[in-house]
């Protein structure tokens, strides 16, 4: 029987290392930044700490250090964890090393799963279609910033899990069913109540909010984590089913 479960937080990844394909979601902003970089043709890597980010960058040619730790851009980094800023850069030959407070932690913790995918509003549909073709058990996990299952991540999780359920997957628990029932038909703009959005407003980073809300379902790129590198995966689309955010 094919099944799907929704969970959140970096620590939850350990529960799904056996027999699951895992989807990591941090819409605001890490997985959106990664998807934007990978789709542009940039090599993209993830790091779990400032130290590991610098160590990975040292092994690359003229790496672009991107990200934040505790909401602040570390010294020596080039840009913060900003998909909007990354999209404006023309230096796609520079490999990016991304650090974030929760999103890249989740990805790092997911190593050892059957497969690990990177998803956001941009590639939610393509990711769900690929999962339906290749994996029988799927864990869709939100980053869980400051212990909260943020609304933008619940929406994206629900879009993906809802698509899988329309393809015959069974929800593994009540929480999965509840998240899908609440959010699968919600438009992206329903995330405006999120504390992530409040943070972007408070720190004058609304360009990233605009980017997230105006780039929904626009990528057919499926992204898989290969060790610490996010790489595109070839995938043929399934017939489309109407899903919010398409």
CATH code where residue 34 lies: 3.90.1560.10
Structure confidence at residue 244 (pLDDT): 47
97 falls within a domain: no
148 falls within a domain: yes
Residue % of the chain over a pLDDT of 90 = 92
Structure confidence at residue 245 (pLDDT): 52
151 falls within a domain: yes
124 falls within a domain: yes
Which pLDDT tens digit goes with each residue over 189-217? 999 999 999 999 999 999 999 999 999 99
Please write down the HEC assignment for all residues of the chain.
CCEEEEEECHHHHHHHCCCCEEEEECCCCHHHHHHHHHHCCCCEEEECCHHHHHHHHHCCCCCEEEECECCECCCCCCECCCHHHHHHCCCCCCCEEEECCCHHHHHHHCCCCCEEEEECCCCHHHHHHHHHHHCCEEEEEECCHHHCCCHHHHHHHHHHHHHHHHCCCEECCHHHHHHHHHHCCCCHHHHHHCHHHHHHHHCCCHHHHHHHHHCCCCCCCEEEEECCEEEEECCCCCCCCCCCCC
**Residue 120 above 70 pLDDT?**
yes
Higher pLDDT: 106 or 236? It is: 106
Structure confidence at residue 234 (pLDDT): 73
**Residue 241 above 90 pLDDT?**
no
Question: Which residue segment(s) compose the domain that 24 sits in?
Answer: 3-44+106-227
Residue % of the chain over a pLDDT of 70 = 95
- Looking at the structure of the chain, the number of domains it has is 1
Which pLDDT tens digit goes with each residue over 125-173? 999 999 999 999 999 999 999 999 999 999 999 999 999 999 999 999 9
């Amino acid at each position: 029987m094919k099944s799907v479960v929704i969970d959140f937080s970096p620590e939850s990844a350990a529960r799904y290392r056996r027999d699951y394909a895992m989807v990591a979601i941090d819409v605001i902003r890490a997985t959106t930044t990664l998807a934007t970089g990978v789709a542009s043709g940039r090599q993209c890597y993830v790091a779990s700490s400032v130290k590991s980010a610098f160590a990975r960058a040292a092994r690359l040619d003229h790496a672009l250090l991107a990200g934040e730790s505790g909401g602040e851009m570390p010294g020596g980094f080039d840009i913060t964890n900003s998909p909007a800023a990354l999209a404006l850069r023309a230096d796609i030959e520079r490999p990016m090393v991304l650090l974030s407070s929760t999103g890249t932690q989740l990805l790092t913790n997911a190593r050892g799963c059957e497969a690990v995918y990177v998803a956001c509003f941009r590639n939610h549909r393509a990711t769900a279609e690929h999962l339906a073709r290749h994996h029988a058990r799927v864990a869709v996990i939100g980053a869980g910033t400051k212990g909260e299952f943020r609304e933008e991540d619940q929406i994206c999780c629900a879009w993906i899990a809802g698509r899988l359920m329309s393809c015959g997957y069974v929800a593994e628990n009540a929480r999965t069913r509840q998240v899908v029932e609440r959010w699968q038909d919600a438009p992206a703009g329903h995330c405006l109540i999120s504390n992530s959005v409040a943070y972007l407003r408070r720190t004058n980073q609304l360009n990233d909010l605009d980017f997230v809300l105006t780039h929904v379902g626009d990528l057919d790129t499926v992204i898989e984590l290969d060790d610490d590198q996010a790489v595109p995966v070839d995938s043929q689309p399934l017939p489309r089913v109407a899903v919010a955010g398409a």
